[in-house]
Structure 1
Amino acid sequence: MIIGIDLGTTNSAAALWRDGESVLIPNSLGDLLTPSAVGLTDDGEVLVGMAARDRQPTHPKLTGTVFKRLMGTHQPVRIGRRDFSPEELSALVLRNIKADAEAFTGETVDQAVITVPAYFNDRQRKATRRAGQMAGLTVERLINEPTAAALAYGIHQRDDGAPFLVFDLGGGTFDVSIVEIFDGIIEVRASAGDNRLGGEDFNHLMVQLAREKIDPKGKLGDPNDPAIVELMRAAAERTRRALTDRQTAPFSLVWKGEAYEADVDADEFEQRCEPLIARLREPVLRSLRDSNIKVDGLSEIIMVGGATRMPVVRRAVTRMFGRFPNTTLHPDHAVALGAAVQAGLKSRDAALKEIRLTDVCPFTLGVDTAERDFKGNVRTGIFAPIIERNTVLPASRVNIFSTMQDNQREVLFNVYQGEARDVSANVHLGKVSVPVPRGPAGTVAIECRFSYDASGLLEVDVTVPQTGTTRQLVICDEEDAAADRDIEGRRKALAALKVHPREEDRNAATLARAGRCYESLLRERRDYIGKVITHFLSVLDAQEPRAIEEARGNLEALLDEIEGERYL
């Protein structure tokens, strides 16, 4: 059986697709949310979920939380006397969810669709996949959290319409996606986010504000003491939630037998949150820029994630978009419900057979290059994008490079993921080299093609047209490759994309028709059609399918007008 899992920073949830709808899976306590917390008892017994979360204020050194923010890093989490990797802790949470799902369904659960923040990079996604495998699950697909939320809102049941924006602010991460549906295809137009922004950051500001009120003389002692940190964090969470429907709320705790309490006003908390609210704007603006969609072109704003309950966030979003957002679904459940829809798609449920879902590349993929400055000095380590962020997947793109030195024997391509111009600030994924024939600098061309799918499989093909020499690099974790039964099928699907748009039948036919039309015209009309052909060629070279389709349609309409009837 396959289930959908929302592996959250603060809480996790699971759901399955049953009888044409998503059904949430309760845990052993009957709750629909399981805290993403792992702890140890004094005897070394592992605790997961609420049992671990409840002990955090009193046993902070024996409890680990918020480890999702460390996914894809080598930073360990110290619990008791042992260091855990973020993947190990996530695997314990996933294993607990797996057991709850099996108890709920009475069946073996061995497959899952797991959600990840849209802005997770390659390392973070692969770490999440490994965590699933460590929990005994075959991870059929990683799906972006905003995309899952869109599925939960039933966009697969809607008619074609204007795009809408999913605003997902959870406990530890923030994501924005713009989604559109047309011709039975659900397409993510753009995604952006901040992996270090969530409800926990608002809790931290609440702690700062409250501490100024309840302890102006510093009687609580060291503010970094793990015990007091966890007590304050728990109190801040209670106060923040209480402010959801109240103007003031108490912040209270007991420390070393003494009670500390003060009222926190919603307005002063909102003022303290202004830096975090400002950080919400940039991912929204980036997603709108990347999708070339204006705010008034959005049909609605959908809000998910537990932190979106905060009035300060809802007011900020209302001001940002000039309208009230859609909050009809439970913010903590939407992502898991959408993951279950994707699980239904993977299991080919009849109720979902007409649905196709596309996603986008969260970060730009490219290679390191060198260039000469105005003094002739060679500057290395400069990022050259090949597949831009927010390109619809699967995708295949090719760029042409040339040698930098006279009689160069080899060209080395280091593959990176990121947005920075300096490759040292991006994520290194691998490298591939190819021998080249000797010759003057700049005279030997090398084609570098990237082919990438929604599950994170990247193929890099480097070809020297002059000699026909080709080298290939496949970037995929060995564990992923061994566990993925369909990896060869995925590679075949990518192979079918490795055709330049100029060579695709419809584009080639349109260019041939335009060429014949150019030959039949004279003077100004010939000049005009020549400029239109040049524009279409430049669009083809940009290799952006949506833009190509629009430009081809415009060119064909122009040819119809000039010729008086469609050429046969």
Structure 2
Amino acid sequence: MIVGIDLGTTNSLVAVWRDGKSVLIPNGLGEYLTPSCVSLDEDDTVLVGKAARERLQTHPDRTAAVFKRYMGSSKTVRLGKRSFRSEELSALVLRSLKADAEAMLGEPVHEAVITVPAYFSDAQRKATRAAGELAGLKVERLLNEPTAAALAYGMHDMGAEARFLVFDLGGGTFDVSILEMFEGVMEVRASAGDNFLGGEDFVESLITLFFERNALPASLRNDAHFMQRLAAQTEAAKQALSLHSSAEIVVAHDAVQHRLALDEALLEQVCAPLLKRLRAPVERALRDASLRAAELDAVVLAGGATRMPVVRRLATTMFGRFPSIDFNPDEVVALGAAVQAGLKAKDAALREVVMTDVAPYSLGVAVSHRLGSNASSHGHFDPIIERNSTVPVSRSKTYIPGSETQTAIELQVFQGESRMVRDNVHLGNLEVPLPPGPIQESVVEVRFTYDVNGLLQVEATVQKTQQTFVLLIEGNPGLLTDAEIKERLQALSELKIHPRDRIENRTLLARGERVYQQLRGEVREWLGIRIAEFERALATQDKRLIAPAHRQFQEQLDHIERDSHLAD
């Protein structure tokens, strides 16, 4: 069985192509959205999803979130006594989604189509593939998120030619893709984006304003418990502004309640720099596709952050039309991933469609330019594959050494758009030994091959000897080797995963602990007794006692949060 997975910064989802349509798969709580959060319980049992998110405020030292932003890097997160890389934390989320799918489908799930931001680098894509492997999944395809959204909207079934733009603003990343349909071919004309622009950045801007308006010391940012409470309240207020004209952030510290009243005008003012950053990728994609906004047949929104009215107004202004919002923006990418899974499984209900994508970055090498007989300028970027080239693509260029005395050429591979390599992203090095002789006989042909999964292979052939050297760009700083993946797979397999059939109670208990920490006085003492009563009911392992205790405890928490203005 093959499933489609949207591995998101804030939330993740899994879906399957079934009975001629995409079907979302609920988690153990009966919800489609699984927060991309991981926590280690006191006995080192792994909690994933809502239970982990509840513990962000109560156990920030044992809980991680927003780790997708560090995919492809060597950054680690410490939870309790253990350190985890982003791939490992993502693997635990994927393993949870895999278990949810197996529970609903009643059969093992071994394969998956996993979506990634269109603007993800080679290293980030390889890290995502490694996360799937660590979760016990064969990653059939890495599918760009905007392309997945287009599949969910059924753009591949359009009979006539059509051009459309997907505006995908998620929790941590922003992608724009322009796609064109003609004669059964879905072609990505151009992609652009920003890997560090998403809903989390809007929350951070509001947090900065909260500190300024309440004259809070910068040192308070080091208080993990306070910051997690503030982040949760700010996220809730941001979401509330999507439904109401105003909202308020209220967080207590040292027996003092700090407040910030919000409305749409203030949000737009505070987030103006972020809204401005949304324009640049859109303009670049349109320019690369040689299109004007008026020539688009449709504009599609994807990603939870597009729920914000300020973002929808911006999109309407930029494109001169109301964007399509037929699908839940949180779910559309997962639904599209399931369509791709159905295509991979060659489901009879799906008409065969040819899909082409593009390289989101220019890929090239560092070169030196001669300025005269005795002078050279080093560190220039020479693109071999230009951005938005249709993939799979293979391009080559020839190079010669800079001097007669060189015994080797060191190819430094970069991605980016800047003139100088120092301003681009270094991907790896390949050393090519040269035969003795004059420069003209030491010509090296360098070929870049970029595949549909966004993975790059570099080949260098010495033309005189026809000797070829290959670099698979697997030596990126921070990437796991095959041996390390096997070692970490073993380590992850030894971790205890909280039983899926008990996650509902564990999530409620984590919620109770969070609410307890936010209260004071008699109500706090009263809730402590209620938590202990619920724990005693759980300890009996008797479902007849646990079920009514769960209902009662949930009602008690709902009552407290309503009356205390505490946020989820």
TM-score interval, normalised by the smaller of the two chains:
0.7 to 0.9
Aligned match of 1:366: 364
The partner residue of 2:457 within 456, 459, 467 is: 459
Q: Once the 2 structures are TM-superposed, how far is the Cα of residue 34 of structure 1 from its aligned partner? A: 0.1
Q: Answer yes or no: is 1:428 the counterpart of 2:427.
A: yes
**What does residue 264 of structure 2 align with?**
266
The aligned counterpart of 1:333 is 331
Match of 2:469 among 463, 468, 472: 472
CA 1:46–1:436 in 2, change beyond 3 Å: closer, same or farther?
Answer: same
Whichever residue aligns with residue 358 of structure 2, its letter is V
Aligned counterparts of 1:343 and 1:247: Cα–Cα separation in 2: 41
The AA in structure 2 aligned to 1:325 is P
Note the C-alpha offset of 1:353. 4.5
Q: Report the AA paired with residue 344 of structure 1.
A: G
Alpha-carbon distance, 1:461 to partner? 3.2
| Residue 128 (structure 1) aligns with | 128
Equivalents in 2 of 1:134, 1:344: separation in Å?
Answer: 23
Distance (Å, rounded) in 1 between the aligned partners of 2:309 and 2:108: 42
Alpha-carbon distance change, 476 to 406 in structure 1, aligned in 2, over 3 angstroms: closer
Residue 369 of structure 2 aligns with an amino acid whose one-letter code is E
The residue that corresponds to 1:317 in the other structure is 315
Query: CA 1:383–1:262 in 2, change beyond 3 Å: closer, same or farther?
Result: closer
Q: Partners in 2 of 1:354 and 1:38 — Cα distance?
A: 38
Q: Is the 8 A contact 1:367 1:415 kept in 2?
A: yes
Indicate conservation of the 8 Å contact 2:102/2:109, yes or no. yes
RMSD: 2.2
Task: For residue 464 of structure 1, report the CA deviation from its aligned partner.
Answer: 4.3
Q: Does 1:299 align with 2:297?
A: yes
CA contact (8 A) 1:403 1:443 kept: no
Contact 1:394/1:454 (<8 A) preserved? yes
Structure 1 counterpart of 2:344, which letter? K
**2: distance between equivalents of 1:379 and 1:143?**
40
Contact 1:361 1:391 in 2 (8 A): yes
The aligned residue for residue 382 of structure 1 is 380
Greater relative CO (CA pairs within 8 A, separation 6+): 2
Q: What's the % identity of the aligned pairs?
A: 51
Partner SS, residue 172 of structure 1 = coil
- Whole-Å Cα distance in 1 between the matches of residues 420 and 219 of structure 2? 44
Change (3 A) 1:376 1:357: same
Where in structure 2 are there 5+ consecutive unaligned residues? 475-480, 487-568
Cα displacement (A) at 1:351: 2.4
Distance 1:419 1:188 in 2: 19
Aligned counterpart, 1:249: 247
Contact 2:161-2:183 within 8 A present in 1 as well: no
AA aligned to 2:78 is R
After superposition, where does 1:339-354 map in structure 2 within 5 Å? 339-354=337-352
TM-score between both structures, scaled by the size of structure 2: 0.80
CA displacement at 1:148 relative to structure 2? 0.7
Q: Using the TM superposition, give the Cα deviation of residue 387 of structure 1 relative to its aligned residue in structure 2, in angstroms.
A: 0.8
Task: Tell me the CA shift for residue 402 of structure 1.
Answer: 2.8
After superposition, the C-alpha distances for 1:278-337 in whole angstroms (9 at most, x for unaligned) are 110111111112222221221111111000000111111111122211111100000000
Deviations 1:413-466 (A, max 9, x none): 233333333334322234141534622x4575432222221124433333344x
Which residue pairs with 2:35 in the alignment?
A: 35
Q: For residues 10 and 38 of structure 1, what CA distance do their matches in structure 2 show?
A: 12
Structure 1 Cα separation of the partners of residues 193 and 137 of structure 2: 27
Q: 1:409·1:438 contact (CA, 8 Å) conserved in 2?
A: no
Q: Which amino acid aligns with 1:290?
A: D
Cα offset for 1:172?
Answer: 0.7
Matching of residues 182-201 of structure 1 within 5 Å: 182-201=182-201
Matches within 5 A, 1:136-175: 136-175=136-175
Instruction: Read off the aligned partner of 2:426 and give its amino acid letter.
Output: V
- One-letter code aligned to 1:427: H
Match of 1:56 in 2: 56
- The letter for the 2-side match of 1:101 is A
Quick one: distance in 2 between partners of 1:350 and 1:372? 59
Q: Which moved more, 1:413-422 or 1:41-50?
A: 413-422
Q: 1:70 aligns to what?
A: 70
CA pair 414-221 structure 1, distance change in 2 beyond 3 A: closer
Query: In structure 2, the residue corresponding to 1:93 is in which secondary structure?
Result: helix
Partner SS, residue 350 of structure 1:
coil
* Equivalent pair of 2:193/2:281 in contact (CA under 8 Å): yes
CA contact (8 A) 2:5 2:114 kept: yes
Quick one: which amino acid aligns to residue 428 of structure 2?
L
Q: Report if the CA contact (8 A) 2:117-2:175 is conserved.
A: yes
Aligned equivalents of 2:265, 2:130: Cα separation in 1: 44
SS in 1 for 2:118: coil
1:109 aligns with 2:106: no
- Cα distance change on mapping 1:83 and 1:300 into 2, 3 Å: same
Structure 1 unaligned spans of 5+:
484-568
Do 1:220 and 1:255's aligned partners in 2 also have CA atoms closer than 8 Å? no
SS at match of 1:56: helix
Distance 1:260 1:458, change over 3 A: closer
**How far apart in 2 are the matches of 1:63 and 1:341?**
33
Asked if the contact 1:461–1:470 (Cα under 8 Å) also holds between the matched residues in 2, the reply is no
Q: What amino acid is the match of 2:437?
A: R
Deviation at 1:220, TM superposition (A): 11
The superposition leaves residues 140-161 of structure 1 with CA deviations (integer Å, 9 ceiling, x where unpaired) of 1111111111111111111232
1:279 aligns with 2:281: no
Opposite residue 67 of structure 1, the aligned amino acid is F
How many residue pairs get aligned? The number is 478
